[in-house]
Chain A
Amino acid sequence: MRTSDRDAEFTAFVTAQRARLLRAARLLAVGDEALAEDLVQTTLTKVYIAWPKVQRADDPVRYAHRMLTNAFIDETRRAYRGRERTEAQPADPATAVAEPADPTLRDTVMAALTGLAPQQRAVVVLRHWLDLDVEATAQALGCSTGTVKSTNSRALAHLRTALADVTDDLTTRSTS
Chain B
Amino acid sequence: MAAEARALDPAALAGHRDHPPRMGFFTDTSICIGCKACEVACKEWNAVPEDGLLLTGMSYDNTQGLGASTWRHVAFIEQPGADHDGLRWLMSSDVCKHCTEAACLDVCPTGALMRTEFGTVIVQDDVCNGCGYCVSACPFGVIDRRPSDGGAHKCTLCYDRLGAGLMPACAKACPTESIQFGPLDELRERAGQRVAELHDAGRSEARLYGEDPDDGVGGAGAFFLLLDQPEVYGLPPDPVVTTRELPRIWRHAGIAAASLALAAVAACVSGRR
Pairing of A with B? no
